[in-house]
């Protein structure tokens, strides 16, 4: 079985420095450094698609895999596959995360400081063939792995992005590929996985992404003046629509849920991070823009604690 997980390398991740040298299983990805990704980058506005550009790259270039995964390098998917004895002695903090996840059950993310992210990355790098085999065995018994839903529906910040645009988008996507088969009510669902992070069986991914990207491009061209970051949020919701339909189409659809790791500093920042982009911050965090707040003041005040993005 062949698997690749793309870890999208945002500016935010790069400020943490000491990037891991990933192995065959996990692969760092940055669209600006990816030569073969011209199709996305040459399109107007697509540089703001963030993690979604990773998916397009995979659709075009990763047909040899059985499973394809996506995550943001600053919010990796939490899957631990080491035996507890080794985890306790070598990666004690990761063992702590396992305990927290197992006991709380429905948690959608685990907040960690940067040093624990590095420990998690080190654990991934240290996995031996038996660990990898255990992970593969776990994965091959699922059709899709997604971030766990927490409170059941999307937060207001996400909904604000979609309030005026989801109907426009669904008018386009419902005429394309697999989405033509999906009943209308599935497009009104309030449940969906966030952050464009998931691991999916390659055939299911291809069926989804082929139609999704046709719709994303058509939508961007039809409505060129909309928020350039919108596709990220539309993509999250569209994935939720697709997965709900997969479960409706086949009640034995196997969906596994895991939390994401959110990296938060332990102390409030004293200054803005290098590369902080005020325009992008307000574009992504529309609730902040609508409230008339300044990007830098908001980030230094509460934005950092809320894990707000600027890239």
Nearer to another protein, 188 or 302 (CB): 188
Contact 20, 124 (CB under 8 A): yes
> Which helix (H) or strand (E) is 221 found in, with range?
helix 202-222
Nearest approach, Cβ of 199 to another protein (angstroms)? Answer: 13
Q: What is the DSSP string of 269-308?
A: -SSPPTT--HHHHHHH-HHHHHTT--HHHHIIIIITTTT-
Minimum CB distance to another protein, residue 305 (Å) = 24
Residue 101's closest CA among 73, 123, 77, 117? 77
Query: How close are the terminal C-alpha atoms of the chain, in Å?
Result: 33
For the CB of residue 198, give the shortest distance to another protein in the complex, in Å: 15
Instruction: Output 38 or 180, the one with its CB closest to another protein.
Output: 180
Query: From start to end of the chain, where are the E strands?
Result: 3-8, 26-29, 67-72, 109-112, 144-147, 198-201, 255-258, 260-263
Q: Select from 51, 55, 41 the least CA-distant residue to 205.
A: 55
Q: Sheet containing 144-147: give its strands across.
A: 26-29, 3-8, 67-72, 198-201, 144-147, 255-258
Residue 290, judged by CB atoms within 10 A of its CB (0-12, 13-18, 19+), counts as exposed
Least CB distance to another protein at residue 96 (A) = 11
Least separation in angstroms between residue 18's CB and another protein is 26
Joined together, the tokens standing for residue 80 give 């631990």
Smaller CB separation from another protein, 101 or 281: 101
Question: In the bound complex, what is the minimum distance in angstroms from residue 152's beta carbon to another protein?
Answer: 5
Please identify, using beta-carbon distances, which residue of 88 and 290 lies nearer to another protein: 88
Closer residue to another protein in complex, CB, 83/302: 83
Residue 129 or 152 having the CB closest to another protein:
152
Residues making contact with another protein (CB under 8 A): 79-84, 87, 98-99, 102-106, 134-135, 137-138, 141-142, 149, 152, 185, 189, 191, 244, 247-252, 254, 256
CB 29, min distance to another protein, A: 25
Which residue's entry shows tokens 């999307």?
A: 154
Q: Of 152 and 292, which CB lies nearer to another protein in the complex structure?
A: 152
């Amino acid at each position: 079985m062949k698997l690749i997980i793309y870890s999208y390398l945002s500016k935010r991740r790069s400020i943490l420095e000491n990037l891991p040298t990933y192995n065959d299983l996990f692969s760092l990805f940055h669209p600006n450094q990816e030569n073969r990704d011209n199709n996305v980058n040459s399109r107007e506005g697509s540089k703001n698609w963030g993690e979604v550009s990773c998916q397009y790259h995979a659709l075009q270039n990763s047909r040899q895999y059985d499973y394809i995964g996506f995550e943001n390098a600053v919010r990796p998917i939490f899957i631990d596959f080491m035996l507890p004895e080794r985890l306790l002695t070598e990666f004690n903090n990761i063992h702590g995360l396992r305990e927290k996840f197992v006991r709380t059950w429905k948690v959608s993310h685990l907040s960690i400081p940067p040093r624990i992210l590095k420990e998690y990355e080190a654990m991934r790098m240290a996995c031996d063939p038996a660990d990898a085999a255990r992970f593969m065995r776990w994965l091959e018994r699922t059709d899709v792995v997604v971030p766990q839903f927490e409170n059941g529906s999307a937060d207001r910040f996400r909904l604000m992005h979609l309030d005026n645009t989801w109907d426009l988008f669904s008018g386009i996507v419902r005429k394309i590929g697999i989405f033509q088969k999906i009943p209308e009510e599935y497009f009104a669902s309030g449940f969906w996985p966030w952050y464009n992070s998931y691991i999916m069986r390659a055939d299911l991914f291809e069926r989804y992404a082929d139609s999704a990207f046709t719709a994303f491009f058509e939508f961007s061209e039809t409505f060129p003046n909309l928020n350039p970051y919108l596709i990220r949020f539309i993509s999250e919701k569209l994935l939720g629509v697709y997965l709900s339909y997969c479960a409706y189409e086949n009640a034995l659809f196997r969906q596994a849920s895991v939390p994401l790791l959110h990296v938060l500093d332990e102390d409030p920042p004293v200054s803005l991070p290098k590369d902080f982009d005020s325009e992008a911050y307000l574009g992504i965090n529309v609730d902040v823009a609508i409230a008339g707040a300044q990007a830098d003041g908001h980030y230094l005040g509460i934005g950092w604690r809320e894990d707000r993005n600027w890239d």
